[in-house]
Structure 1
Amino acid sequence: MSDDTALKVSDYLREPLILLNTSFNNTDELFTGVNEIAFEKGFVTDQFLPKIKARESTFPTGLQLEDRGVAIPHTDADTIKKEFVAIVVNQQPISFKRMDDPESTTPVKVAFVLGLNQPHAQLEMLQSLMGIIQDKAVLDKLETASNKQEVQQILN
């Protein structure tokens, strides 16, 4: 597959779901915050919140990077009405259980919540996100972005 047909994170950004400077204290608050907006805007069903919480507790999504943690929570396609990638930049790190070691946690300031309803899209989006996540400069910019347009520009 050539790059121009690959899924781009920027194509799935939805302005109401770019959440900057949030003050969530834990993953439950973060999921509830994303769900409130996503549900109100018609992106998700009423099963999104219970299912993303359940999935995160069974299959944690925290990734420990060299100098920080990030998380890529997601859930079942049948809870997604309109596809999105939500970006949450929290003021303080939130502890996410680690994907590679669920007994450990990683401090996460930037979480990418995936709302995808095409089975093949999940893997492609994860690959696309890995490119962003492995770029320290991009993560630094996301953590300090002052508005939603800036986030969209960074990810374009």
Structure 2
Amino acid sequence: MSERSYIAIEGHARDWEEAIRSCGNELIRNAYVGKDFLTACIDREKKFPTGLPTSIPVAIPHAASDKVFRTAVCVMKLDEPIRFQRMDEPSASVDVKLIFNLAIKGNDAHLDFLQKLIGFVMDEKHLKRCVDLTIKEIPAYLEREIK
């Protein structure tokens, strides 16, 4: 069994905050995190945006929190892109189609896994595959591809 889990949802969000709430609520429903994690992700996103202008733009909201019970990633495939401020240039924005909300247990593992995920999203082939796969297929794909 893996030390982390992947879940995937799809749907609509009016803005980045609603999208993070959707992911956070899914992580809460699956007992990966407590409610304070969701608030921590939103607060962190306001200060340190996570939008990336990759081939298919993504956002990677996350927060170090003691309310992470088990490491997990909630992927949200949006029906319509929403605007996130960019990680590399916070004064600019990017219209995001995929969100990877990280919930990492233990601060030591946080940076290592974030780097692995950024490597994954920098590969156009991986992002196209995530867009093409069904929601039910995405978790197994991420499990195989993110080492």
Q: TM-score, normalised by structure 1?
A: 0.82
1:98–1:105 Cα contact (<8 Å) kept: yes
Tell me what 2:78 maps to: 90
- How far does the alpha carbon of each residue in 1:3-44 deviate from its partner, in whole angstroms, 9 at most, with x for none? xxxxxxx75233xx3113x11121111121122222232221
1:154 aligns with 2:137: no
Of all paired residues, the percent bearing the same amino acid is 29
Unaligned runs of 5+ in 1: 1-9
Q: Which amino acid aligns with 2:4?
A: Y
CA spacing shift, 1:46–1:90, aligned 2, 3 Å: same
Equivalent in 25, 34, 39 of residue 28 of structure 2: 39
Mapped partners of 1:152, 1:41: distance in 2 = 14
- How far does the alpha carbon of each residue in 1:68-112 deviate from its partner, in whole angstroms, 9 at most, with x for none? 311111012212122111111111111111111111111111111
Mapped partners of 1:136, 1:50: distance in 2 = 31
CA spacing shift, 1:152–1:51, aligned 2, 3 Å: closer
SS in 1 for 2:33: coil
Unaligned runs of 5+ in 2: none
Larger Rg: 1
1:68–1:107 Cα contact (<8 Å) kept: no
Query: What is the count of residue pairs matched by the alignment?
Result: 142
Mapped partners of 2:22, 2:123: distance in 1 = 27
- How far does the alpha carbon of each residue in 1:100-154 deviate from its partner, in whole angstroms, 9 at most, with x for none? 1111111111111100121121111122112211211110010121232x21343
1:107 aligns with 2:99: no
Tell me what 1:5 maps to: none
Tell me what 1:135 maps to: 123
SS in 2 for 1:78: coil
SS in 2 for 1:111: strand
Pairwise CA RMSD of aligned residues? 1.7
Mapped partners of 1:109, 1:50: distance in 2 = 22
